[in-house]
Amino acid sequence: MNYCIKKLRGVIEMFLRRYLDDIREKTAGMNKKERVSYVITYYWYHILIIVSIIALIFFAVRFYVFGNQKPEFTCVLVDQEIDDDRDAEIAQTFAKENDLDPDLVTVDSDYVFSYGDVQLQGVNESSYDKFFLKWRNKELDAVILSESMYQYCKEMRGEFRSLEGMDTSGFETYTDGGKVTAVVLGKDEFMEAATGKTDEKLLLAFPDNGRHADLCDDFLQCIREFKGELGGQE
């Protein structure tokens, strides 16, 4: 990348020197106003090309430096109330407690979609594909979801981490296949309002292919502070 930038910079400098020498030669003897008028008339497209190349280099460098950074932790809330302020507060708190870049920690509740026998009205069904694409790409570290969605993920061949070794004290634990794989945040009030089901538990679980297993216990501890704000009620 650096080599390409240097080469492009060299090419631009070469063209600039050539055009500046050409302009000096052709505008010799002209006053300032005449010189400006001449350049605008005969070199405007050259200037446009050079400016476009410089802008292209700027955006390429900006993407390489800032846009290519990978998330340090990602949590998704499925079929819960979309609340950007709450999501941002959780992300910022978790980042601060664990010395992470807050811009690289994501908590996102904009994942409301139908699945299996659960059919929701007026939702963005494209979130379904986005959710499972992120799962396949190992981009999900934590998921807050209803018990029925947990089981649906299992049907879709998704697996969750065992919480063995994590501090689950103070939480009701959720056992799957003889292993504790989630904690219960309470009764899922959002799903009760949307579907009428009164027995849905709201769970926090961790996909087993997430890239940041070392931070899962830390996130579990962070969620203690927000348990009452996540749509669950004991």
Q: Does 46 lie in the same domain as 101?
A: no
Q: What is the pLDDT of residues 152-188, one digit of tens each?
A: 999 999 999 999 999 999 999 999 999 999 999 999 9
Higher local confidence (pLDDT), 172 or 68:
172
Higher local confidence (pLDDT), 196 or 13:
196
Q: Does 137 lie in the same domain as 196?
A: yes
Residue 11 has pLDDT above 70, yes or no: no
Domain count, the chain: 2
Residue 71 has pLDDT above 70, yes or no: yes
Domain boundary among the residues 17, 47, 67 is at 67
* Alpha-carbon span 199 to 142, nearest angstrom: 23
* Alpha-carbon span 230 to 79, nearest angstrom: 11
Residue 231 has pLDDT above 70, yes or no: no
Q: Does 94 lie in the same domain as 45?
A: no
Q: What is the pLDDT of residues 198-228, one digit of tens each?
A: 889 999 999 999 999 999 999 999 999 998 8
Say which residue the tokens 């200037």 belong to: 47
Q: Does 80 lie in the same domain as 54?
A: no
Cα–chain center distance at 173 = 28
Task: Give the contacts of 101 (CB within 8 A, at least 6 positions apart).
Answer: 69, 72, 95
Domain boundary among the residues 67, 98, 117 is at 67
Q: Does 166 lie in the same domain as 78?
A: yes
Q: Does 112 lie in the same domain as 58?
A: no
Q: Does 111 lie in the same domain as 19?
A: no
Q: Where is mean pLDDT largest: 3-17, 18-32, 48-62?
A: 18-32
The pLDDT value recorded for residue 232 is 57
Q: Does 6 lie in the same domain as 78?
A: no
Q: Does 208 lie in the same domain as 116?
A: yes
Q: Does 217 lie in the same domain as 109?
A: yes
Spell out the SS3 assignment of 40-86: HHHHHHHHHHHHHHHHHHHHHHHHHHHHCCCCCEEEEEECCCCCHHH
Q: Does 146 lie in the same domain as 30?
A: no
For residue 79, what are the domain limits?
Answer: 73-233
CATH number of the CATH domain containing 181: 3.40.190.10
Q: Does 49 lie in the same domain as 93?
A: no
Portion of the chain with pLDDT greater than 90, in percent = 57
Residue 144 has pLDDT above 90, yes or no: yes
Domain boundary among the residues 37, 67, 97 is at 67
Confidence of residue 52 (pLDDT cuts 50, 70, 90): confident
Q: C-alpha distances in angstroms, 135 versus 10, 70, 94, 105, 188?
A: 44, 15, 21, 16, 22
What pTM value is reported for the model? 0.72
Average pLDDT over residues 133-159: 96
